[in-house]
Amino acid sequence: MGTKKNLSDIAWRDFKALPLTEKGAYFQGSPAHTLIAQQFSREKIEELCELATKIKRMNKRRDGANFLKSLLSDKRAMLYFAQPSSRTYLSHNAACQILGLDTMDVRDSKTSSEIKGESPEDTIRTFSSYVDMIIMRHPVGGFAERVAWMMAHTGREISVLNAGSGADQHPTQALLDIYTLQRSFEKIGGIDGKHVAFVGDLLRGRTVRSLAWMLSLYKDMTLYFIAPESLQISQDILDLLDKAGTKYVVTQDFASVMPIADAIYMTRIQDEWDVEGEGSTTEACDYHIGAEHMDTIKDTTVILHPLPRRQEISTEIDNDSRAVYWRQMRNGMWIRAALILTTFGRQEEVNQHYAEYKPEA
């Protein structure tokens, strides 16, 4: 990720124009930010996965859980969610609780002074007086980056964690997806060399955009993008994959990919982005996986979904061991706890005390 740089040293115009892979150098300082998938190196992701597993195991013991709760008991976080959320909101909140971090929230900007005409920037600047971190979801792509930049220029900089922005980025979802893939493929050589199929609305699915890029950090991957032409993955992601030398196939043919995929990442239609008067995209995308397909996919193939799901996965396969989306969701809480702890630079304390609190088995 290169040498650390300060957001306070760069003009917004110049920062905005930087390639995504160069922006990360600005987020590693103190305070650290989590804003885009492209700021993570493979090494960093692996450290986070290892830390997540340690936190999860320590938390099983009461004394371990109490130890974890003491780690960030001096910190407070604001959950600012200007877009609907269930899992991401709750799992961040739970991750904060595991580490003893107090939280406050604004989940509906109508209940904040934004309704009185205050700009979201001013609202966030206000939060920064009370907390050490903002965990935020916002409908405007790039807004979390803008907030981090803005705060760096106020002299009251706090960590910003992007919990989903517009249709462009969802870095913490990509981390939990990678964590799930890593655990699923533990006994079959890890993530390297695997074939991963993305299915559904890939144009507006921010989780796919973030995860596809993170997978390019692994060796000999083949990614399949399966979507109707109008909702296919966009060129900026394909350009990043080309640059990273990651193989990919862009197709509409799910049936031919099913038997060769090691992971199938289903997504819902993101029709909240439909433009009024331009027709609905719902009909354009009817990919589906159900009991009738389970003999077609390999015994080791895993099915993921960032959730919420609609018709694209039948509930009848929920108990198949290859359907890992419920486990994937739970993994989110652990990897987010690892990420928050690392944001405050306190991860070494877990490493130092792990042996003491590790469960017997």
Angle at 304 between CA 314 and CA 225, to 5 degrees: 100
Angle at 77 between CA 73 and CA 80, to 5 degrees: 160
Identify whether 137 is a catalytic site residue. yes
Binding track, positions 257-276, relative to ligand ASP; x by CB under 6 A: -----------x--------
Q: Which is nearer to ligand ASP, 120 or 164 (CB)?
A: 164
Q: Which is nearer to ligand ASP, 150 or 161 (CB)?
A: 161
From candidates 24, 120, 166, 306, binder to ligand ASP by CB under 6 A? 306
Nearest to 80 by CA among 24, 128, 28, 33: 128
| Cβ atoms < 10 Å from Cβ of 29 | 15
| Cβ atoms < 10 Å from Cβ of 169 | 25
Q: Does 164 bind ligand ASP (CB under 6 A)?
A: yes
Task: Name residues contacting ligand ASP, limited to 185-224 (CB under 6 A).
Answer: 206-207
Calpha distance 207→173 (Å, rounded): 6
Measured CA to CA in angstroms, residue 5 lies from 23, 41, 64, 135, 359 at distances of: 9, 16, 36, 22, 40
Beta strand spans in the chain (E): 76-81, 102-106, 133-138, 159-165, 195-199, 222-226, 247-251, 263-266, 302-304
Identify whether 116 is a catalytic site residue. yes
Q: What's the gap between Cα 288 and its chain centre?
A: 23
Calpha distance 32→23 (Å, rounded): 13
Find the catalytic residue in 54, 56, 137, 336: 137
Q: Which residue is nearest to ligand ASP (CB)?
A: 306
Q: Which is nearer to ligand ASP, 164 or 171 (CB)?
A: 164
Angle at 64 between CA 60 and CA 65, to 5 degrees: 70
Find the catalytic residue in 42, 44, 57, 87: 87
CB of 169 to ligand ASP, least distance (A): 10
CB of 71 to ligand ASP, least distance (A): 28
CB 40 within 8 A of CB 175: yes
Find the catalytic residue in 13, 116, 187, 315: 116
Identify whether 353 is a catalytic site residue. no
CB of 271 to ligand ASP, least distance (A): 10
| Cβ atoms < 10 Å from Cβ of 43 | 10
Q: Does 336 bind ligand ASP (CB under 6 A)?
A: no
Residue written as tokens 């130890």?
Answer: 67
CB of 204 to ligand ASP, least distance (A): 9
Find the catalytic residue in 54, 92, 170, 305: 170
Q: Which is nearer to ligand ASP, 53 or 207 (CB)?
A: 207
Q: Does 170 bind ligand ASP (CB under 6 A)?
A: yes
Q: Which is nearer to ligand ASP, 91 or 347 (CB)?
A: 91
Q: Does 128 bind ligand ASP (CB under 6 A)?
A: no
Number of residues that bind ligand ASP (CB under 6 A): 7
Give residues in contact with ligand ASP (CB under 6 A). Answer: 164, 170, 206-207, 268, 306-307
Tell me which residues are annotated as active site. 87-88, 116, 137, 170
